[in-house]
Amino acid sequence: MYNFGNEKLKINKMRANDIKTIDVNCKEWFDKVNGNSYFAGTIVINYGRKDEKEIKIPFQYGYGDHYRDIAYKIIKKELNCFKKVDNLTSYWRAYDQYKIKARHNKKDNCLKRELKD
């Protein structure tokens, strides 16, 4: 929260009850030389609504469904929400508790440059 004179502005704050949908779209690249997988992508909160927000998932190491856990951590940090479920580390419990429709999509076998775009 920033204070400009008498006016207080909330930056990047959203209540968990205001979140209706979460769409996570990632691309995965496998480094054949070193045998490591990497991913990057975007998170769209409330797709198609006037309060829609988009958050980038930066290029990072991970494979399988790890991108889902990272997306949840980013949402918690960026939007400062899910306070009631801080003790719950799984995204699916938080989404279930707040009745959020979550859609996850990962495209495999991408080129490294596709993740950097």
The neighbour count for residue 22, using CB atoms within 10 Å, is: 21
Say what the pTM is.
Answer: 0.82
Q: What does the alpha-carbon distance between residue 12 and residue 28 come to, in Å, rounded to a whole number?
A: 27
Give the residue extent of every domain in the chain: 14-116
Give pLDDT tens digits for 18-63.
Answer: 999 999 999 999 999 999 999 999 999 999 999 999 999 999 999 9
Confidence of residue 87 (pLDDT cuts 50, 70, 90): low
Q: Closest Cα to residue 81, out of 94, 64, 68, 96?
A: 94
